[in-house]
Amino acid sequence: MKDQFIVSGGARLEGAVKVDGAKNSVLKLMAAALLAEGTTTLHNCPEILDVPLMKKVLEGLGCEIDLEGARVTITTPAELRSNADFDAVRQFRASVCVLGPLTARCGHAEIALPGGDAIGSRPLDMHQSGLEKLGARTYIEHGAVVADAENLHGAEIKLDFPSVGATENILTAAVMAEGVTILHNAAREPEIVDLCMMLKSMGADIEGEGTSRLSIRGVEKLYPTEHEVIGDRIVAGTWAFAAAMTRGDITVGGIAPRHLHLPLEKLKSAGAQIDAYDNGFRVRMRRRPTSVDFQTLPFPGFPTDLQPIAIGLSAIAEGTSIITENVFESRFRFVDEMLRLGADAQVDGHHVLIRGQERLSSTDVWSSDIRAGAGLVLSALCADETSTIHDVFHIDRGYPNFVENLRSLGATIERIQEPEDSDLL
C-alpha cells in the first residue's frame, strides 16, 4: 500500500533538527565492507529504505548484517558469492557500488543493470573502462554488468567526467590491485572523502582524497574497521532551503557547513542570514527571498540533488531565476509538477526560467524521485491551502523521519495511506 502526504500551506518553520548519516555515503561504506573478511561496524547510519535494500544485496553475497538503529554491523565471509541478487539490485541504483569490491575480492562480479531512472539515463561506461584499465574484462550480458579479472594491476586512469559512482568503483577495486593507480579527474564529493577515510582505516594506501587526483597503492589485504558515516549534506541543505522558503529560522546539526558552502552562499544572496558552527549552521529569513540563479556542477559546485529544492525557492522568490542542470539530463521532469502548484516556469533544454510568485496554489502532485519529492513538499508548504503529495516512497528512500521533523518545526503534515481508487485522480 502506497502512502501520501497531506501538507498545509502557510507554515513558518522554526526550531532545530539534526541530520543523520549520508545516504550517498552509507551505501558505499556498506559495500566497502566486502573488501575485508570479518565484522565491520558503521555508526550514524540513517533509517531510510535504501539501507535495508543494501542489506539484502550484501546478504545475497553471503554477508551477515545487523541493523540496530544507527549502528550497522556487516560480517563478511572468507568466500563471497560474486553474483548479486537480481531483484534486490534492480530496486535501487546505488547497488552498483558492489562492482568494485567484488571484482577485487572474487575476480568476478555480476550485477543486474540498474537501468535509467526519472532523472536521466545513467550509463556505466566510465565504471567499465576504469575497471578495464585495472586489468578486468567487462561486458553486459543477460541484463547484467559482468567483470572478470585474474589479477588487477595499478594503472593511470583519466575520467571524462568526475563521476561519483565510477570514482567509487575504481577506488574500491584499485585498493587491492598490484601497484599504483593514479585516478585523474576523480570526484571530490565529501562522500568520496568519507569512503577514502574508511578504506584507509581498513589498511588501504590512498593519497589525494578531496582533490581530483587520487593516488592508490594496492595492498594485499584489508581489515575490518569501525567508522562513523558523515552527515547528509543534501538533507541538511533541504532544511536550509526550507527555512529560507518559509521565512523561518532553522538550526541544523550533524553537518560540516563546508560541505554546503555554495548552497549556503546562494541562500545569503537570496537574503538569508547564515551562522555557521563547528558541526552545524542556522538559517534565518525575515522576508520574501530574492531570486538567484543556480547552476549544478560536481562538488564543490551546487549539488544537482538540491536542484529541485532550488526550483522550489525560485518559484516563490521575488524576481526571475535561471536554473541550469549540468549533471543529469532529465532532472527537469518534475517541473511539470511545479506547474500544477502554480509555478511560472519554462524549460528550455538544460535551463529553466522561473518567475517567482507570491504564493503557490495547492493541488495534488506526484514525486518522481527522492529530491523532487522533497522539493514538492517544501513548495506545498508555500501554497495557499492543502496539497497532497503522492508516491512518497521516493522521499522515504532518502529522508529519515521527514514528517516527524517537519512537524517538530511547526509544519502541518500528515502521512496517510493512498486510497484504493487514487489512480483515478
**Contact between 238 and ligand UD1 per CB under 6 A:** no
Cβ of residue 221: shortest distance to ligand UD1, in angstroms? 27
Beta strand pairing call for 294-295 and 320-324: parallel
Judged by CB under 6 A, the residue of 328, 334, 366, 402 near ligand UD1 is 328
CA-based Rg of the chain, rounded to a whole angstrom?
A: 21
Give a three-class secondary structure readout of 173-193: HHCCCECEEEEECCCCCHHHH
**Residue in the shown chain whose Cβ atom is closest to ligand UD1:** 165
**Contact between 61 and ligand UD1 per CB under 6 A:** no
Count the neighbouring beta carbons within 10 Å of the beta carbon of residue 103: 27
Cβ of residue 402: shortest distance to ligand UD1, in angstroms? 17
Of 11 and 166, which has the nearer Cβ to ligand UD1? Answer: 166
Tell me which residues in 294-313 interact with ligand UD1 (CB under 6 A): 304-305
Phi, psi dihedrals of residue 335, rounded to the nearest 5°:
-60, -30
Number of residues that bind ligand UD1 (CB under 6 A): 17
Is 3 annotated in the active site?
no
Helix segments in 134-163, DSSP class H: none
Tell me which residues in 381-410 interact with ligand UD1 (CB under 6 A): none
Of 257 and 303, which has the nearer Cβ to ligand UD1? Answer: 303
**Contact between 369 and ligand UD1 per CB under 6 A:** no
Cβ of residue 385: shortest distance to ligand UD1, in angstroms? 32
Are 24 and 164 in contact by the 8 Å Cβ rule? The answer is yes
**Contact between 350 and ligand UD1 per CB under 6 A:** no
Q: Which residues pair with 114 in a beta bridge?
A: none
Give yes or no for a cis peptide into 400 (omega within 30° of 0): no
Give the CA dihedral 213, 218, 224, 226, nearest 10 degrees. -20
**CB-based contacts of 176, cutoff 8 Å, min separation 6:** 35, 104, 105, 152, 218, 219, 220, 221, 222
Which member of 117, 148, 344, 364 is catalytic? 117
Cβ of residue 22: shortest distance to ligand UD1, in angstroms? 9
Of 311 and 327, which has the nearer Cβ to ligand UD1? Answer: 327
The arrangement of strands across the sheet holding 156-158 comes to: 156-158, 180-184, 213-217, 205-207
Q: Which residue has the cell 528512500?
A: 397
Cβ of residue 27: shortest distance to ligand UD1, in angstroms? 6
CA distances from 319 to 290, 315, 322, 376 (A): 6, 9, 10, 20
Structure-block grid coordinates of residue 211 = 582533490
Of 186 and 316, which has the nearer Cβ to ligand UD1? Answer: 186
**Contact between 125 and ligand UD1 per CB under 6 A:** yes
Of 24 and 103, which has the nearer Cβ to ligand UD1? Answer: 24
Give CA–CA dist 14/11, Å, rounded: 9
Cβ of residue 425: shortest distance to ligand UD1, in angstroms? 29
Cβ of residue 25: shortest distance to ligand UD1, in angstroms? 8
**Contact between 123 and ligand UD1 per CB under 6 A:** yes
Structure-block grid coordinates of residue 306 = 538540491
Q: Is 330 helix (H, G, I), strand (E, B) or coil?
A: coil
Give CA–CA dist 230/307, Å, rounded: 21
Of 77 and 123, which has the nearer Cβ to ligand UD1? Answer: 123
Per-residue binding string, ligand UD1, 158-177, x by CB under 6 A, is ---x-xxxx-----------
Q: Which span sits near ligand UD1 by CB under 6 A: 121-129, 202-210, 259-267, 284-292?
A: 121-129
**Contact between 24 and ligand UD1 per CB under 6 A:** yes
**Contact between 127 and ligand UD1 per CB under 6 A:** yes
Judged by CB under 6 A, the residue of 33, 94, 335, 413 near ligand UD1 is 94
Give CA–CA dist 175/173, Å, rounded: 6
- Can you give the length of the chain in residues? 425
Residues that bind ligand UD1 (CB under 6 A): 24, 94, 122-127, 161, 163-166, 304-305, 327-328
Active-site amino acid positions = 117
